[in-house]
Structure 1
Amino acid sequence: MAIAACVVYATYAYLRWRSQSFWGWDLGIFDQIVRDYAHFRAPDVTTKRHISATDMGMFAWADHFSPILVLLAPLYWIDNSAYNLLFAQAVLLSAAVVPIWIYTRRRLGLPAAYLVGGAYLVYWPLQSAAAFEFHEVAFAPLILATLIERVDAGKWRHAAIAAGLLLLVKEDMGLIIVMVGIWIMIKGQRRIGAYFAAAGAAVIGTVIWVVMPAVGGSSKRDWYYGQLGATFGQVAHKLLTHPSLMVTELVDPHVKLHTAFWLLAPLLFLSLRSWICILAIPQILERFFSEVHYHWEQPYQYNAYLAAILVLAAVDGAAKFNLAWLRTAWAATAFGVGLALIPAYPLWQLTDSATWTTVAPRVAQLHLLEMLPQGTDVLMEFPLDATADEWVHPISEDYTDVAPEWMLTQNVTAFQQKLDDNLTANGHPPASYAPYAVYDGWTLAKLDR
């Protein structure tokens, strides 16, 4: 099942990557990070260096603490392509079905294990993650499913290893480990649960308030709670003095309820019958209290953090049914609902002939970029893709201080004017580019020094 799903997800990702259907921003960032690891360099994100003159996020850990990405570096020793990340994501997302199958077989029996495994593999949060480029979330379902299964089996050393790996995925994963500790205490292992909770709290505090500031970041670098306050203390004070916000921030705007409904509906809401669902609370609060709309919505990678948690919580909820046939019936229904929902989500694009066609702009861009040596700085406009050998930078209204050596665009004059406006607005001299090569309407221009 894992292999079959991996083939589907990897094929989908490859077709979209080949046809320039990805936005390119996130994929480019992670490509630069893992490429640096592969060359035994500190992860320096040159794309972010051009966003703002005051941006401190050039060193990857100053932006997000995801050292687990170093595990993907060997892929670049085999093939020098950003597609490595998309392939790895397909493998990791699909591999989580193994611990999910093991857990479900133990709790519901063998037939249900296959059905729940299928329900997980077609679960829309995985599809959304695969459709939105690459992110560190690719590691989360496999590690979380393993962690939950090992805790359920009482294998504490294995569970501790899984928890340690999860803490390397992102700086906020310590909150989930705290909830794992609380869940373990609810199960009756108070001392072990306290260890997990304390470790999670200690790590997240160290990472956010010590490690990230030490490498140029900030404990409030990704602060999306301005509507509640400018500091943690202000947020706590406002919530205590206006307790109704604890409800209104979770449900308004109503797209939050829409996302929550579709997270639970494919599993027939059985996740709510299990204490395992408390592991999802930190992610729900962190996202739904945010003032940024894409944290609430479905078509992004964030929901994949919850996939394994909610699926295994639903299995635990189904295990509480007294009748064995009812447990299997739930598993079959969940799988059926997942299949029925596929036309509404990204994998359905595989049925569209356009998905299998390489678009001309992508061919032209690759043709021109192949003329440049590795490590070259190239400025392109959205949408763009990381293309393997070059450092590709997007141009945006915030692009400020450095004119890259190369520019790839369909309109050099307009593109250069936009760049010059940004440069001069920030006290830098305008840049001048001369056409270097032209192919199928695209121009590769070189900085005229």
Structure 2
Amino acid sequence: MTTFTLRPPVRADEAVPAGRQRERIRVAAVAVACAVVCLLIGLQRFRQLQLGGFDLGLFDQAIRAYSHFELPRSLIKSVHHGFPPEFSLLGDHFSPILALAAPFYWLWDDPRTLLLVQSLLFGAGVPVVARLVRRECGSALGPRALSRLTLAFCLVYGFGAALFYASRAGFHEVAFAVPLFLLLFERARARAYGHTVAVALLLCLTKEDLGLSVGIFGAVLALRARRAGDRRGVRTGGVLLVLGPLASLAAIVLFVPWMGGDAQFYWQYSDLGTSAGEALVHVVLHPLDTLRAALTPSAKAVLLLWTFGSLLFLPLRSALTLCALPLLAERLFSDNGNHWQALHHYGAFVWPILIAASIETTGKIARKWERRRAERAAKGAAVFAATITLFGLLISGSWHIVLPSHWQRDAHQEAALTAVRKIPDAATVEADNNLAPRLTRRARVMILDLIPRNADWVLLDTTKKAFPFPDAQSQKDRLLLLRDSGYVITYESRGIVLLRRPTPAVPVPGSVEQGRGDLPGYDTADVRVFG
């Protein structure tokens, strides 16, 4: 790690470099392009019935409840994990910031609203990246080279595979974390410390673990400010160092249980122990075993190489990268194989941290080099940006948005939508995971899982494995069980089956009502790194 330094911000009254207006137009264009591409990725997946009740459907239920000034309850989440009917999604992950998406539902009451919100938030990070580049590199480069470098980093951020993978996964609270992390670093770099604390508070309200990253950043800021003789910076850093971990502790120990959740529900680190205390002791007493757990199986090592290698390992020369350590540790030590892969939304949490760290490292290098050499390097950065942008599009499969064939639905998908339309409004439904978001707007939806729920309607797909079933045969077995229990098939086509509960109704053998503590545990992962 390099030494901690804090350079003065670029003064607002300095002369505006030539071509600055053109640069602003380019940055705005990249921001719009980032938002549009991310939105199209999500819309294409939605159209192709590839976004599920986990997670798009459950967030749709919760944020729609917010839009009605209710607690964010999700029938999908509470039923699948055996929580009582009054369970709030705040008892799952403490993310009250999601309420900020509720007003969009007053304009368009549809699950796709969340895809739009997420894409706008991702795009909003682009101008913040541009400001970071100017603050870090403005004193070391001429106007033209600085403009090139700014555009290069905007492209690397806005078209990074991490954002595309998150868009393919649907919607998640990471949508808010991405621009907020960037804004946290930019406001601190500008010494706008009141704004810095406000942004840090918003991050703590985004997800319960982000307070740990806020605390680490507070330590980094305090040390840097102390070296620079900036007392306000030292005080602000100290506040964040205390505020962040306390916010995480309060969310996990107090607020999550208060909202009907379990503070230990997401503890899945058996290699380290059964609690955070045991894990800390294990890390201190058994460092080699801890390192082994972090790097095996090999998918974890590949994930680390991709995470840092895709940015030429530039983040490793910046102390800002320390802020990513809690988020990376959560993935590397997890028992859940989904966390070891790049093809979900998890990488988007660390993406803005690594981008800001890369910008900081670039600024340090540029200030050490002779200006002409630094400006030549800025040209090379543009080539690198184009390469990483193209690679991000290819590796994430996002280039499919330009293929008309990938926007068309096949006969199987059309049959599924026909079955969806046959379900009456306000009905109680157990639905195939990928069909659940098509019903959450107008019905009481649970996903079809390993436990029968005695719903009035059941919609399933017998042609392919669907979350959380282990295989397609298990879904066929469920169909036989339902028919033996008196359920009547009202529609069947191309493996899509819609059944209605008989009258008088009798419980399905093995069924469990909501709130009986039928926690199914964590679903196994088909471990792949990139898809």
TM-score normalised by structure 2 residue count = 0.77
Match for 1:157 among 194, 200, 206? 194
Q: What is the Cα deviation at residue 353 of structure 1?
A: 4.0
Q: What is the Cα deviation at residue 261 of structure 1?
A: 1.4
- The answer to whether 1:335 aligns with 2:385 is yes
**What's 2:359 paired with?**
315
**What's 1:348 paired with?**
399
Aligned ranges 1:43-442 → 2 under 5 Å:
43-53=72-82, 58-108=87-137, 109-188=146-225, 189-321=233-365, 322=369, 323=371, 324-329=374-379, 331-341=381-391, 342-387=393-438, 388-397=441-450, 399-400=451-452, 402-409=453-460, 418=478, 431-437=485-491, 442=496
Q: What is the Cα deviation at residue 417 of structure 1?
A: 5.1
In the alignment, residue 363 of structure 1 is paired with which amino acid? E
Q: What is the Cα deviation at residue 431 of structure 1?
A: 4.7
CA distance in structure 2 between the aligned counterparts of 1:414 and 1:146, rounded to whole angstroms: 47
CA distance in structure 2 between the aligned counterparts of 1:317 and 1:165, rounded to whole angstroms: 26
Q: What is the Cα deviation at residue 244 of structure 1?
A: 1.1
Residues 230 and 364 from structure 1, CA distance in 2 versus in 1: closer, same or farther, beyond 3 angstroms?
Answer: same
CA distance in structure 2 between the aligned counterparts of 1:297 and 1:375, rounded to whole angstroms: 37
CA offsets per residue over residues 143-178 of structure 1, 9 Å max, x none? 111111000010011111111111111111100110
Task: Please say if residues 53 and 76 of structure 2, whose CA atoms lie closer than 8 Å, have aligned partners that are also in contact.
Answer: no
Q: Secondary structure at the match of 1:100?
A: helix
TM-score normalised by structure 1 residue count = 0.91
Residues 408 and 308 from structure 1, CA distance in 2 versus in 1: closer, same or farther, beyond 3 angstroms?
Answer: same
Q: What is the Cα deviation at residue 81 of structure 1?
A: 1.3
Aligned length: 440
Q: What is the Cα deviation at residue 382 of structure 1?
A: 4.2
Gaps of 5+ in 1: 424-429
In the alignment, residue 347 of structure 2 is paired with which amino acid? N
Q: What is the Cα deviation at residue 57 of structure 1?
A: 9.2
CA distance in structure 2 between the aligned counterparts of 1:77 and 1:365, rounded to whole angstroms: 28
Q: What is the Cα deviation at residue 349 of structure 1?
A: 2.0
**What's 1:426 paired with?**
none
Q: What is the Cα deviation at residue 119 of structure 1?
A: 0.9
Q: Secondary structure at the match of 2:459?
A: strand
**What's 2:65 paired with?**
36
Q: What is the Cα deviation at residue 439 of structure 1?
A: 6.2
Gaps of 5+ in 2: 1-29, 138-145, 226-232, 464-472, 506-531
Task: Please say if residues 266 and 337 of structure 1, whose CA atoms lie closer than 8 Å, have aligned partners that are also in contact.
Answer: no
Bigger radius of gyration: 2
- Identical columns (%): 28
CA distance in structure 2 between the aligned counterparts of 1:228 and 1:364, rounded to whole angstroms: 47
Q: Secondary structure at the match of 2:269?
A: coil
Residues 78 and 438 from structure 1, CA distance in 2 versus in 1: closer, same or farther, beyond 3 angstroms?
Answer: farther
Task: Please say if residues 105 and 112 of structure 1, whose CA atoms lie closer than 8 Å, have aligned partners that are also in contact.
Answer: no
Task: Please say if residues 56 and 62 of structure 1, whose CA atoms lie closer than 8 Å, have aligned partners that are also in contact.
Answer: no
Q: What is the Cα deviation at residue 59 of structure 1?
A: 1.9
What CA RMSD, in Å, does the superposition of the two structures yield over aligned residues?
2.5
CA distance in structure 2 between the aligned counterparts of 1:56 and 1:187, rounded to whole angstroms: 49
